[in-house]
Structure 1
Amino acid sequence: MHLLTLIFGIVLLPKAHTLKCYECAAGTPENCKVSECPSTGQQCSALRLTSYAGGSKLVDVKSKRCALTAECVEASLNFGISKVLINSMCCNADLCNQKIALVSIQSIPNGNKCFQCKGKECTATLNCEGTEDHCISAKMNLGGESVTMKGCASKLMCLPETKKTSGFMSAEISCCQGNFCNSAGSTRAGLLLLAAPLVSLVVLS
């Protein structure tokens, strides 16, 4: 009797609904397929990563997929002369991620201030914008030359898993909160465009 009850319970138990979302790799937003999300906690996402340098757009990468709530973010990394923006639009209906996330250039100062590097000196003031609530310092070796960049960053850019995913494992990165907490110092002249290593954020599964 108990076995029969268990069997009926399994048969009649409603299947947990998971969303169906458009899925396409970074750089191929027009070539999407329909996929069922592997878990009920995921949403449909349309993510866009853009990179700017000197006011010109350098990179514009788009993707669609299933995503966890924590991956539905708006974040930026700002070194003054170069900036990377991540915009992720998430929704909770089947195939609702048809549209690509709009680019939102966060140009409104939020009151936070950090040091930035100009030329050989890192004493210039950078007014943080949008969700940039941390100061960041990055030191790495590019072509045998040590390069240091300082600026503003959103909290997402300072998480350990973001650094690892972004290809920063060989770089020294530190984040802090508080005006000018990324202390000033001298550095070799250099321009660091972080679009390429951050593209991996777009294709996270």
Structure 2
Amino acid sequence: MKLTLCVPLIWMLFSSAGALKCVQEYHWSTLQILKDPEPCNSTDVHCATVSYLDSKIIGEELYLIRRTCVPSSLCNQGDQLFSFSYDDTGRSVFLHCCSTDGCNDKSIPRLAADEPKPNGLQCDTCSLSDLSCNKKKQCVGNEDRCIAVNLNEYDETHPLHGCASANLCEADTELKLKLLFGRSINIDDMEFSAPKCCETSLCNSAPADKLSVISLLLGLVALSVC
């Protein structure tokens, strides 16, 4: 009986001892808290330092730093820059990964606050207060895709349509979106639908808009036949 109880305990101790430890905090860039590294989940095998640049949320840029544990799927392409913008809000994220205990206590380059230039792509967009998604947005910088994705939070679904960088539409998009918008990638407080990305202007139009256009065309055909 004692042996039966001891085996799980020994396994837990060895598992905890072998887990990667990373600094885990979220703060304004002007602060340098740097807590002691904490053990990661068994699925997280990299430490990450993430810098955020938010624009036009309260009329000024907000610069944040997150240090956390992440799975290997987010770190298979080296340093990465993700961008997503909708309505009049934009967010850029720079992700740096490393794989030794406490290695994410280093500083990383601050994202430039310079206003990026329009790149010629235009996408449909909507905001959390206007769900019609019938506005148009000019994409800028590396946002070379139109994107349509639904956010489910606290049993409410919100469409997020706008402009995105191409790497946001690749593998593990939900984890990247959680990294962009969520309070933690390990907490299921946000769920995202599979995003639909496309490369031509206004290709992310809301389904309702497309349906109305099709109905109009069918009506015209019916009138011409009659």
Paired with 1:77 and 1:64, the residues of 2 have a C-alpha distance of 21
Local SS of the residue matching 1:183 = coil
How many aligned positions are there?
157
1:50 aligns with 2:50: no
Q: Which amino acid aligns with 1:128?
A: C
**1:143-162 paired onto structure 2 within 5 Å:** 143-162=154-173
Higher relative contact order (CA closer than 8 Å, sequence separation 6+): 1
Match of 1:104 in 2: 112
Deviation of residue 149 (structure 1)? 1.8
Deviation at 1:81, TM superposition (A): 2.7
Residue of structure 1 aligned with 2:90, choices 76, 83, 90: 83
The aligned counterpart of 2:193 is 171
Secondary structure of the 1:163 match is: helix
State the one-letter code of the partner of 1:25.
Answer: Q
State, as a whole percentage, how many aligned pairs show the same letter: 21
In 1: Cα distance, 2:206 partner to 2:170 partner? 22
- Asked whether 1:113 is paired with 2:122, we answer yes
Q: 1:149 to 1:123 in 2, by over 3 A?
A: same
Assess, with a 3 A threshold, how the Cα gap between structure 1 residues 58 and 102 changes in structure 2: closer, same or farther.
Answer: closer
TM-score scaled by structure 1?
A: 0.57
SS at match of 2:77: helix
> How far apart, CA to CA, are the structure 1 residues paired with 2:135 and 2:64?
28
Contact 2:174-2:194 at 8 Å conserved across structures? no
| Aligned residue in 1 for 2:17 | none
C-alpha RMSD over aligned residues: 4.0
1:54–1:81 Cα contact (<8 Å) kept? no
TM-fit CA distance, 1:128: 0.8
1:60 to 61, 64, 68: 64
- Aligned AA (2:26): G
- Residue 73 in 1 paired to residue 56 in 2? no
Tell me how far 1:24 sits from its aligned partner: 3.4
1:62 CA displacement: 3.6
**Structure 1: gaps (5+ residues):** 1-22, 35-43, 188-205
1:127 alignment counterpart: 138
Distance 2:155 2:36 in 1: 43
Unaligned runs of 5+ in 2: 1-21, 38-46, 98-102, 179-187, 210-226
Question: Which one has a larger percent helix, Structure 1 or Structure 2?
Answer: 2
Q: Which stretch shows the higher mean deviation, 133-142 or 49-58?
A: 49-58
CA contact (8 A) 1:137 1:150 kept: yes
Structure 1 residues 140 and 86, CA, compared in 2 at 3 Å: closer, same or farther? closer
Aligned to 2:151: 140
Could you tell me which amino acid in structure 2 is paired with residue 139 of structure 1? N
